[in-house]
Amino acid sequence: MDSNEVKFYDFGPFRLSVRDRLLLKKDKGISISHKRFEILLFLVKNQGHPVSKKELLEKFWDETHVEDFNISQHIYEIRKLLKKNGGDGTYIETVPKYGYRFAADVATSKSAADEQSEDRNTIGNFDSDRAGEGSTPEKLAGNGSINTDGNSENCEKNRSVSDGLLFSRKGLFAAFLFLILILAFVGIYTQYLTKDQPAAERKIQSIAILPFKQIEGDQSEKWGLGIADSLITELSNQKQIMISPTSSVIRFVDEENLDPIEIGRNLKVDAVLVGTIQRSNETVRVNIQCIGIKEQASLWSEQFDASFSDIFSLQDDLSKRIARKFSINFAPEQKFGANSTKNIDAYKAYSKGLFHSNKIFDFSKPSLVNPDEILKTIEYFETAIEKDPQFIRAYIKLAKTYVFMGTHDFSMSMSRKGVFSKANRHAEKALELDSNSADAYAILGTLQLSEGNFSKCRELLEKAIALEANNVEANVSLGWLEVLNGNWDQAISSMKTAYLANPHDKEVRLYLVRFFLLARKPDDALTLVKKELEINPPDIRTNFYLAQISEQKGELEGAIRELEAVLEKEPENLFALVVLSRVYAKNKQFEKAKAMLALELKGLENEFGKDYTDYYVALAYLYQGNKDKALDILRKIKPNYIVLIVLRHSYNFDPIRDTKEFKQILSEMEKELIIQK
């Protein structure tokens, strides 16, 4: 080795030995795979300079189908290894949309002294086997290794010792070779056993399919999200392996530098499917890889090439290939792609509709809804239907969007009745195209619930559940129906069914939190919110639920802290203002309560009259001691079943529950809804 060549790189408490390919800490080796060592060394050599993912791919992976999620996985493991062994976890920085940079200070060493020091640390007790290399007879005579006086007896003894040492070295070398052969055989045999081994044999029971990453091309097309949604839809039609719903993975659609293992841990699945889609003129290449969370490694990977016009056949092939990998058996009548489309423009519009539907909730708005995103969602789903009038999934998604608008009293320029009429028409069309659509029956049942027709609602929801026992929409709506009928045990049972069918679905989990709060079970609600925070980063909605949980438990200071935290981020959040006004009043801080309510009412000048805020405003007045004003607001609220449930069951209305005026308000609302039990 050239004496001027760098032999060691030191950073923090670590040392990289270039010659021996070792990661050391205080002269003790740390176990690290060869590839991860080489990646770390490459980053260290380029200290302070960004290294692109493309450069890492070209340098360390020969396979053309390997993509940058492999890099993310290795970087994650390197970071974890360094942190586990005393590092601070900040050595490797992520450079957004580019790659990585080694940010720590690095010292290099070229001295032979350091190399000799390293030799002593790594070969230690074998120095005696090197006796005589560069040594004089005089130096060795004193220890009896070599006799220089010509005594034959001593020579024979020394020869015997020398032969013994030689035999010892040969024996050791032979044993070492034998061990290497055994390890190589085990490795080859293990590879043979695991090659293309069905994932089901590895006890894979749950999978998350992440939105595919689109390489090059128009990023707004959202092809990767469309492919993932199609795979999720097709592969969910079985009960052997749980597939995370699109709603639980859609948030990753535009995220850079995803770490599949970390995502898998958060979603609590056994494996994560990641992929890329690359279009070049009329050719499409799709790469897909299954990463085992426990194994922290790729279980298998596939590459598919097709013409762009055959992308739908490609999706069906992907579904079948994945099903075989996981030993999934579908019913004989299963038809892949039956509810999808074969129209490119319809598929593109549908993918965009999915993307914008995920952005509808906006907690900076008084209504918690972003109207622009609702309009875009409707526009794209309607375009998908226009391009392909047989596109069942587009009808279902559009109908659900209209149901959402109606149940959240966000009808915009339409009447609530008009919104529900559109939802009904699209669900009926989906049912016409597929008479066994559980989703269509669930939507129609939910609409009957909104109209107060309980008997017809139950009939349709039970039909949906008969077709698909774990249908989320049907079980959630059945839960609301049971609440209206006062059957809390059955209500929570239905909601738990929906939750257990899709434990990664944030909306279902938070629906159940709301149920527990209405059922006056704040501890159960808190357990679910904690699970939510294990999976997803905290957001304003979790702040609100934590505040309501604390409020219901009588921990008013805790509730105030949660709501004030929201207002620190969004000072004009009207929802936080009105709830905080109520909590301040409960905590006898009446001046602050009035100030919060004044800000709320000013912000609601163009929003007042919305059901979702009116009953909160009524409660704020109630706890400030203005019962008459609270009752007057409640009389003016437009009846709908969500408001009715809140009035019937929320503990916040207990101070006036037994009054004649409140009972009359409830009675009139029930009559107007024409409830048929």
**Predicted pLDDT of residue 604:** 57
Q: What is the pLDDT of residue 400?
A: 92
Structure tokens at 574: 């009207």
Strand 271-280 and strand 213-215: the pairing is parallel
pLDDT of residue 155: 42
**What does the pLDDT read at residue 179?**
58
In the three-class reduction of DSSP (H, G, I as helix; E, B as strand; rest coil), residue 490 is classed as helix
Beta bridge mates, 215 = 278
Q: Note the pTM of the prediction, 2 decimals.
A: 0.63
242: left (phi over 0), alpha (psi -120 to 50) or beta: beta
What does DSSP say about strands 242-243 and 206-209: parallel, antiparallel, or unpaired?
parallel
Tell me, what amino acid is at 352?
K
Residue 603: what pLDDT? 61
Contact indicator for 425, 405 with CB cutoff of 8 Å: no
User: Mean pLDDT in each 10-residue stretch from start to end of the chain (677 residues)?
Assistant: 70 88 84 86 91 83 55 80 81 82 87 44 34 35 36 43 45 57 51 44 80 73 81 78 81 76 85 84 82 86 77 77 77 57 87 85 56 89 95 93 80 78 95 93 92 89 89 90 87 86 76 89 93 78 91 96 87 85 95 87 54 80 94 87 87 95 92 65
**Short-list 644, 637, 638, 631, CA closest to 675:** 644
Find out whether 577 and 567 touch, Cβ atoms under 8 Å: yes
> Given this model, what pLDDT does residue 222 score?
79
Q: What is residue 326's predicted lDDT score, i.e. its pLDDT?
A: 80
Q: Show the tokens assigned to 465.
A: 């559940």
Distance CA 233, CA 340 (A): 9
Token pair, residue 253, equals 């659609």
Cβ 491 vs Cβ 507: under 8 Å: no
User: Which long-range contacts link 591-597 to residues 24+ away (Cβ below 8 Å)?
Assistant: 593/620, 593/623, 593/624, 594/624, 596/620, 597/621, 597/624
> Which pLDDT does position 395 carry in this prediction?
95
SS3 of 559, please?
helix
CA distance 46 to 40: 10
Query: CB within 8 A of 329, min separation 6: which ones?
Result: 238, 240
CB 341 within 8 A of CB 351: no
φ/ψ (deg, to 5) at 284: -125, 135
Calculate the CA 236 to chain-centre distance: 18
Q: Tell me, what DSSP letter sits at residue 361?
A: B
Using the CB atoms, write b or e for 110-125: b if 16+ within 10 Å: eeeeebeebeebeeee
